[in-house]
Amino acid sequence: MKEKTEFLEREYKNMLERGETWTIRDLNGPSQPHVVVEGKKCIMLASNNYLNLANDPRLREAAKKAIDKYGAGAGSDWSIAGNMDIHRELNEKIAEFKRTEAGVTYQTGYAVNSGLIPQLAGRGDILISDELNHGSIIDGVRLTKADRAIYAHSDMGELETVLKDAEKKNYRRTIILTDGVFSMDGDIAKMDEIQKLADEYGAMTYVDDAHGEGVLGEGHGIATEFNLEKKIDFQVGTFSKAFGSFGGMLAGSEMLIKYAYNTSRTWLLSAAFPPHVAAASIAALDIVEKEPERVKKLWDNTKYFKKEIESLGFDTGNSQTPIIPSMVGDSKKAQELAKRLYDEGIFCLAIVYPMVGRGKARIRNQMNAGMSREDLDVILRAYEKCGKELDII
Protein backbone atom coordinates (compact mmCIF):
# COMPACT_ATOMS: atom_id res chain seq x y z
CA MET A 1 0.00 0.00 0.00
CA LYS A 2 1.29 3.46 -0.90
CA GLU A 3 2.68 5.45 2.00
CA LYS A 4 0.72 8.56 3.01
CA THR A 5 1.70 10.73 5.96
CA GLU A 6 3.95 8.16 7.65
CA PHE A 7 6.99 9.98 6.24
CA LEU A 8 6.35 12.93 8.58
CA GLU A 9 7.35 11.00 11.70
CA ARG A 10 10.42 9.57 9.98
CA GLU A 11 11.57 12.97 8.73
CA TYR A 12 10.95 14.58 12.11
CA LYS A 13 13.00 11.91 13.88
CA ASN A 14 15.87 12.51 11.45
CA MET A 15 15.72 16.25 12.16
CA LEU A 16 15.68 15.53 15.89
CA GLU A 17 18.74 13.31 15.56
CA ARG A 18 20.63 16.07 13.74
CA GLY A 19 19.65 18.68 16.35
CA GLU A 20 17.62 20.63 13.80
CA THR A 21 14.28 20.96 15.59
CA TRP A 22 12.87 23.89 17.53
CA THR A 23 11.79 23.91 21.16
CA ILE A 24 8.80 26.24 21.31
CA ARG A 25 8.49 27.82 24.75
CA ASP A 26 5.52 29.85 26.03
CA LEU A 27 5.84 33.36 27.45
CA ASN A 28 3.55 33.91 30.44
CA GLY A 29 3.04 37.61 29.88
CA PRO A 30 4.34 40.45 27.69
CA SER A 31 7.56 40.57 25.68
CA GLN A 32 9.99 42.82 27.55
CA PRO A 33 13.56 42.62 28.93
CA HIS A 34 12.41 40.61 31.97
CA VAL A 35 9.94 37.87 31.13
CA VAL A 36 8.36 34.76 32.59
CA VAL A 37 8.89 31.73 30.35
CA GLU A 38 6.84 28.68 31.33
CA GLY A 39 6.87 29.84 34.94
CA LYS A 40 10.58 30.71 35.03
CA LYS A 41 11.83 34.28 35.40
CA CYS A 42 14.30 35.09 32.62
CA ILE A 43 16.12 37.91 30.90
CA MET A 44 14.92 38.05 27.29
CA LEU A 45 17.71 37.69 24.73
CA ALA A 46 15.74 36.29 21.78
CA SER A 47 13.29 39.05 20.90
CA ASN A 48 13.21 41.44 17.93
CA ASN A 49 11.81 44.07 20.31
CA TYR A 50 14.93 46.22 19.93
CA LEU A 51 13.48 49.52 21.20
CA ASN A 52 11.41 47.93 23.99
CA LEU A 53 8.17 49.19 22.47
CA ALA A 54 6.13 45.97 22.38
CA ASN A 55 4.77 46.59 25.89
CA ASP A 56 5.00 50.38 25.90
CA PRO A 57 1.93 51.88 27.65
CA ARG A 58 1.45 54.41 24.84
CA LEU A 59 1.09 51.65 22.23
CA ARG A 60 -1.27 49.78 24.53
CA GLU A 61 -3.38 52.88 25.11
CA ALA A 62 -3.52 53.71 21.39
CA ALA A 63 -4.68 50.16 20.65
CA LYS A 64 -7.37 50.27 23.36
CA LYS A 65 -8.77 53.55 22.06
CA ALA A 66 -8.85 52.17 18.52
CA ILE A 67 -10.79 49.10 19.66
CA ASP A 68 -13.33 51.35 21.36
CA LYS A 69 -13.72 53.43 18.19
CA TYR A 70 -13.37 50.87 15.39
CA GLY A 71 -14.05 47.47 16.95
CA ALA A 72 -11.90 44.34 16.97
CA GLY A 73 -11.53 43.67 13.24
CA ALA A 74 -11.51 45.44 9.88
CA GLY A 75 -14.26 43.21 8.49
CA SER A 76 -12.85 42.79 5.00
CA ASP A 77 -9.83 43.00 2.74
CA TRP A 78 -8.25 46.44 2.36
CA SER A 79 -9.10 46.26 -1.33
CA ILE A 80 -12.83 45.72 -0.74
CA ALA A 81 -14.30 47.27 2.41
CA GLY A 82 -11.66 46.94 5.12
CA ASN A 83 -9.70 50.14 4.55
CA MET A 84 -10.40 52.49 7.47
CA ASP A 85 -9.21 56.03 7.92
CA ILE A 86 -6.75 54.83 10.56
CA HIS A 87 -5.14 52.52 7.97
CA ARG A 88 -4.78 55.47 5.62
CA GLU A 89 -3.27 57.54 8.41
CA LEU A 90 -0.66 54.84 8.98
CA ASN A 91 0.18 54.70 5.26
CA GLU A 92 0.77 58.44 5.26
CA LYS A 93 2.88 58.11 8.39
CA ILE A 94 5.05 55.46 6.72
CA ALA A 95 5.82 57.79 3.82
CA GLU A 96 6.65 60.62 6.21
CA PHE A 97 8.86 58.39 8.36
CA LYS A 98 10.65 56.83 5.38
CA ARG A 99 10.89 60.17 3.56
CA THR A 100 9.28 58.82 0.40
CA GLU A 101 6.32 59.88 -1.73
CA ALA A 102 4.01 57.18 -0.46
CA GLY A 103 3.67 54.09 1.71
CA VAL A 104 1.33 51.16 2.28
CA THR A 105 0.93 48.42 4.86
CA TYR A 106 0.74 44.71 4.14
CA GLN A 107 -0.37 41.94 6.48
CA THR A 108 3.26 41.02 7.21
CA GLY A 109 6.74 41.79 5.94
CA TYR A 110 6.79 38.29 4.49
CA ALA A 111 3.64 39.15 2.53
CA VAL A 112 5.36 42.17 0.96
CA ASN A 113 8.20 40.09 -0.45
CA SER A 114 6.15 37.08 -1.52
CA GLY A 115 3.43 39.28 -2.98
CA LEU A 116 5.33 42.15 -4.59
CA ILE A 117 8.47 40.58 -6.08
CA PRO A 118 6.48 38.34 -8.47
CA GLN A 119 4.73 41.45 -9.79
CA LEU A 120 7.96 43.34 -10.46
CA ALA A 121 9.72 40.84 -12.71
CA GLY A 122 8.93 38.12 -15.22
CA ARG A 123 10.30 36.61 -18.42
CA GLY A 124 12.97 38.84 -19.92
CA ASP A 125 14.00 40.20 -16.50
CA ILE A 126 16.68 39.21 -13.98
CA LEU A 127 16.62 39.26 -10.18
CA ILE A 128 20.01 39.44 -8.48
CA SER A 129 19.98 38.33 -4.84
CA ASP A 130 22.50 38.24 -1.99
CA GLU A 131 23.09 34.61 -0.98
CA LEU A 132 22.08 35.29 2.65
CA ASN A 133 18.82 37.09 1.93
CA HIS A 134 15.80 36.30 4.08
CA GLY A 135 13.63 33.35 3.09
CA SER A 136 10.73 35.65 2.19
CA ILE A 137 12.86 37.28 -0.52
CA ILE A 138 13.91 33.84 -1.73
CA ASP A 139 10.28 32.72 -1.88
CA GLY A 140 9.27 35.88 -3.72
CA VAL A 141 12.00 35.31 -6.31
CA ARG A 142 10.97 31.67 -6.75
CA LEU A 143 7.43 32.75 -7.57
CA THR A 144 8.59 34.72 -10.62
CA LYS A 145 9.44 33.56 -14.14
CA ALA A 146 12.43 35.89 -14.22
CA ASP A 147 16.02 34.72 -14.55
CA ARG A 148 17.88 34.61 -11.26
CA ALA A 149 21.42 35.20 -10.12
CA ILE A 150 22.95 34.95 -6.65
CA TYR A 151 26.08 36.80 -5.58
CA ALA A 152 28.33 35.77 -2.68
CA HIS A 153 27.32 37.52 0.51
CA SER A 154 28.15 41.25 0.34
CA ASP A 155 30.74 40.56 -2.38
CA MET A 156 30.61 43.71 -4.47
CA GLY A 157 33.11 42.36 -6.99
CA GLU A 158 30.89 39.38 -7.71
CA LEU A 159 27.80 41.59 -7.83
CA GLU A 160 29.46 43.74 -10.48
CA THR A 161 30.42 40.65 -12.47
CA VAL A 162 26.78 39.51 -12.44
CA LEU A 163 25.62 42.99 -13.47
CA LYS A 164 28.08 43.08 -16.37
CA ASP A 165 26.85 39.71 -17.58
CA ALA A 166 23.23 40.87 -17.25
CA GLU A 167 24.02 44.00 -19.26
CA LYS A 168 25.35 41.87 -22.13
CA LYS A 169 22.11 39.88 -22.22
CA ASN A 170 20.06 43.06 -22.47
CA TYR A 171 17.42 42.19 -19.89
CA ARG A 172 14.30 44.31 -19.79
CA ARG A 173 14.59 44.90 -16.03
CA THR A 174 17.36 44.21 -13.54
CA ILE A 175 16.63 44.31 -9.81
CA ILE A 176 19.18 43.85 -7.01
CA LEU A 177 17.57 42.45 -3.86
CA THR A 178 19.15 42.57 -0.42
CA ASP A 179 18.41 42.56 3.27
CA GLY A 180 19.32 45.81 4.99
CA VAL A 181 20.57 44.04 8.13
CA PHE A 182 21.14 40.32 7.72
CA SER A 183 19.04 38.71 10.40
CA MET A 184 21.26 35.77 11.37
CA ASP A 185 24.67 37.45 11.29
CA GLY A 186 23.80 41.03 12.17
CA ASP A 187 25.92 42.62 9.45
CA ILE A 188 24.81 45.55 7.31
CA ALA A 189 24.39 45.54 3.53
CA LYS A 190 26.92 47.73 1.71
CA MET A 191 24.05 49.83 0.50
CA ASP A 192 26.13 52.74 -0.74
CA GLU A 193 28.19 50.44 -2.97
CA ILE A 194 25.14 48.45 -4.08
CA GLN A 195 23.32 51.62 -5.09
CA LYS A 196 26.37 52.94 -6.93
CA LEU A 197 26.61 49.73 -8.96
CA ALA A 198 22.86 49.78 -9.59
CA ASP A 199 23.09 53.31 -10.95
CA GLU A 200 26.06 52.41 -13.13
CA TYR A 201 24.37 49.38 -14.70
CA GLY A 202 20.80 50.65 -14.85
CA ALA A 203 19.47 48.31 -12.16
CA MET A 204 16.80 48.90 -9.54
CA THR A 205 17.35 48.30 -5.81
CA TYR A 206 15.04 46.40 -3.48
CA VAL A 207 15.83 46.41 0.24
CA ASP A 208 14.15 44.48 3.04
CA ASP A 209 14.98 46.62 6.06
CA ALA A 210 13.11 44.56 8.68
CA HIS A 211 16.03 44.52 11.14
CA GLY A 212 17.35 47.97 10.20
CA GLU A 213 14.28 50.01 11.06
CA GLY A 214 14.47 51.43 14.54
CA VAL A 215 18.17 50.56 14.54
CA LEU A 216 20.00 52.33 11.68
CA GLY A 217 19.70 55.91 10.49
CA GLU A 218 18.58 57.22 13.90
CA GLY A 219 15.72 54.75 13.71
CA HIS A 220 14.62 55.49 10.16
CA GLY A 221 16.52 52.60 8.64
CA ILE A 222 19.24 51.84 6.12
CA ALA A 223 18.10 54.36 3.51
CA THR A 224 18.64 57.19 5.99
CA GLU A 225 21.86 55.60 7.27
CA PHE A 226 23.33 55.93 3.76
CA ASN A 227 21.34 59.02 2.70
CA LEU A 228 19.59 57.03 -0.03
CA GLU A 229 15.92 57.75 0.71
CA LYS A 230 15.41 59.13 -2.81
CA LYS A 231 17.52 56.48 -4.55
CA ILE A 232 16.38 53.06 -3.30
CA ASP A 233 13.45 52.01 -5.49
CA PHE A 234 11.69 49.57 -3.14
CA GLN A 235 11.88 49.92 0.64
CA VAL A 236 10.31 47.00 2.51
CA GLY A 237 9.93 46.70 6.26
CA THR A 238 7.89 45.55 9.21
CA PHE A 239 6.29 46.85 12.39
CA SER A 240 6.80 43.55 14.23
CA LYS A 241 10.41 44.13 15.30
CA ALA A 242 11.83 47.41 16.60
CA PHE A 243 8.43 49.13 16.39
CA GLY A 244 6.82 46.59 18.72
CA SER A 245 3.61 46.19 16.74
CA PHE A 246 2.63 44.09 13.71
CA GLY A 247 2.36 44.19 9.91
CA GLY A 248 4.55 44.77 6.88
CA MET A 249 5.23 48.01 5.06
CA LEU A 250 6.33 49.23 1.65
CA ALA A 251 7.64 52.72 0.90
CA GLY A 252 8.62 54.37 -2.37
CA SER A 253 7.14 56.38 -5.20
CA GLU A 254 3.42 57.06 -5.41
CA MET A 255 3.19 54.99 -8.58
CA LEU A 256 4.95 52.04 -6.90
CA ILE A 257 2.41 52.02 -4.08
CA LYS A 258 -0.56 52.21 -6.45
CA TYR A 259 0.91 49.42 -8.58
CA ALA A 260 1.69 47.29 -5.52
CA TYR A 261 -1.77 47.31 -3.99
CA ASN A 262 -3.38 46.68 -7.36
CA THR A 263 -1.26 43.63 -8.18
CA SER A 264 0.06 41.93 -5.01
CA ARG A 265 -2.08 38.89 -4.28
CA THR A 266 -0.98 38.83 -0.66
CA TRP A 267 -2.42 42.33 -0.25
CA LEU A 268 -5.50 41.83 -2.39
CA LEU A 269 -6.56 38.44 -1.05
CA SER A 270 -6.01 38.81 2.70
CA ALA A 271 -8.06 40.64 5.29
CA ALA A 272 -6.86 44.01 6.52
CA PHE A 273 -5.24 43.76 9.92
CA PRO A 274 -7.29 44.98 12.91
CA PRO A 275 -7.52 48.76 13.34
CA HIS A 276 -5.92 48.66 16.80
CA VAL A 277 -2.75 47.28 15.14
CA ALA A 278 -2.60 50.36 12.92
CA ALA A 279 -3.07 52.60 15.95
CA ALA A 280 -0.21 50.94 17.83
CA SER A 281 2.06 51.27 14.77
CA ILE A 282 1.30 54.98 14.43
CA ALA A 283 2.15 55.46 18.10
CA ALA A 284 5.41 53.57 17.65
CA LEU A 285 6.55 55.74 14.73
CA ASP A 286 5.77 58.87 16.75
CA ILE A 287 7.84 57.60 19.69
CA VAL A 288 10.86 56.76 17.54
CA GLU A 289 10.70 60.25 16.01
CA LYS A 290 10.49 61.98 19.39
CA GLU A 291 12.79 59.80 21.51
CA PRO A 292 16.17 59.38 19.79
CA GLU A 293 17.61 58.37 23.15
CA ARG A 294 15.98 54.94 22.69
CA VAL A 295 18.10 54.22 19.64
CA LYS A 296 21.19 55.55 21.43
CA LYS A 297 20.57 53.27 24.42
CA LEU A 298 20.17 50.31 22.09
CA TRP A 299 23.56 51.03 20.54
CA ASP A 300 25.21 51.63 23.92
CA ASN A 301 24.03 48.18 25.04
CA THR A 302 25.14 46.67 21.74
CA LYS A 303 28.67 48.02 21.93
CA TYR A 304 29.13 46.99 25.55
CA PHE A 305 27.77 43.45 25.14
CA LYS A 306 29.71 42.76 21.93
CA LYS A 307 32.98 43.93 23.45
CA GLU A 308 32.50 41.92 26.64
CA ILE A 309 31.30 38.66 25.10
CA GLU A 310 34.19 38.72 22.64
CA SER A 311 36.58 39.28 25.55
CA LEU A 312 35.26 36.03 27.06
CA GLY A 313 36.39 34.23 23.90
CA PHE A 314 33.10 33.93 21.98
CA ASP A 315 33.10 34.41 18.21
CA THR A 316 30.47 36.99 17.19
CA GLY A 317 30.96 36.47 13.47
CA ASN A 318 30.38 39.53 11.27
CA SER A 319 27.99 41.38 13.58
CA GLN A 320 27.71 45.16 13.17
CA THR A 321 24.32 45.67 14.83
CA PRO A 322 22.23 44.70 17.90
CA ILE A 323 22.07 41.18 16.43
CA ILE A 324 25.14 39.59 18.02
CA PRO A 325 25.56 35.85 17.35
CA SER A 326 27.57 33.51 19.56
CA MET A 327 28.92 31.11 16.98
CA VAL A 328 28.95 27.46 18.03
CA GLY A 329 28.97 25.38 14.85
CA ASP A 330 27.45 22.08 15.94
CA SER A 331 23.64 22.14 16.17
CA LYS A 332 23.37 19.88 19.19
CA LYS A 333 25.99 21.84 21.11
CA ALA A 334 24.22 25.11 20.27
CA GLN A 335 20.96 23.67 21.57
CA GLU A 336 22.67 22.47 24.73
CA LEU A 337 24.14 25.94 25.26
CA ALA A 338 20.67 27.47 24.89
CA LYS A 339 19.26 24.96 27.38
CA ARG A 340 21.94 25.68 29.97
CA LEU A 341 21.52 29.42 29.56
CA TYR A 342 17.79 28.96 30.10
CA ASP A 343 18.57 27.06 33.30
CA GLU A 344 20.58 30.14 34.34
CA GLY A 345 17.58 32.42 33.66
CA ILE A 346 18.58 33.62 30.18
CA PHE A 347 15.99 33.04 27.45
CA CYS A 348 17.71 32.60 24.11
CA LEU A 349 17.43 30.21 21.18
CA ALA A 350 19.79 28.07 19.17
CA ILE A 351 19.60 29.00 15.49
CA VAL A 352 20.13 25.85 13.43
CA TYR A 353 19.59 24.57 9.88
CA PRO A 354 17.68 25.59 7.77
CA MET A 355 17.81 29.08 9.32
CA VAL A 356 21.58 28.90 8.87
CA GLY A 357 23.83 26.49 7.00
CA ARG A 358 24.78 23.15 8.56
CA GLY A 359 27.85 23.55 10.73
CA LYS A 360 27.02 27.21 11.39
CA ALA A 361 24.67 26.91 14.37
CA ARG A 362 24.71 29.75 16.85
CA ILE A 363 22.85 31.55 19.60
CA ARG A 364 21.43 34.79 18.24
CA ASN A 365 21.68 37.44 20.97
CA GLN A 366 19.45 40.44 20.36
CA MET A 367 19.92 43.61 22.32
CA ASN A 368 17.12 45.72 23.76
CA ALA A 369 17.05 49.40 24.69
CA GLY A 370 15.26 48.46 27.92
CA MET A 371 18.11 46.31 29.23
CA SER A 372 20.22 47.68 32.07
CA ARG A 373 23.98 47.26 32.42
CA GLU A 374 23.23 44.88 35.28
CA ASP A 375 21.07 42.75 32.94
CA LEU A 376 23.92 42.51 30.46
CA ASP A 377 26.41 41.55 33.16
CA VAL A 378 24.10 38.78 34.39
CA ILE A 379 23.91 37.44 30.82
CA LEU A 380 27.68 37.62 30.42
CA ARG A 381 28.33 35.72 33.65
CA ALA A 382 25.96 32.98 32.52
CA TYR A 383 27.66 32.82 29.14
CA GLU A 384 31.07 32.50 30.76
CA LYS A 385 29.91 29.65 32.99
CA CYS A 386 28.07 27.71 30.28
CA GLY A 387 30.66 28.37 27.60
CA LYS A 388 33.40 26.87 29.76
CA GLU A 389 31.28 23.89 30.73
CA LEU A 390 30.75 23.06 27.05
CA ASP A 391 34.36 23.82 25.99
CA ILE A 392 33.19 26.58 23.65
CA ILE A 393 35.55 29.06 25.33
Which are the catalytic amino acids?
A: 183, 211, 241
The DSSP letter of residue 218 is G
DSSP string, 45-67: -S-S-TTS-TT-HHHHHHHHHHH
CB neighbour class for 255 (10 Å; exposed up to 12, middle 13-18, buried from 19):
exposed
Q: In degrees, to the nearest 5, what angle opens at C-alpha 101 toward C-alphas 58 and 195?
A: 105
Residue 157, CA distances (Å) to 190, 221, 283, 296, 386 in order: 12, 25, 42, 34, 40
142 touches 117 (CB < 8 A): no
CA dist 119 to 109, 143, 198, 318, Å? 16, 9, 20, 33
DSSP string across 164-208: HHHHHTT-SEEEEEEESB-TTT--B--HHHHHHHHHHHT-EEEEE
CA angle 323, 336, 49 (to 5 degrees): 25
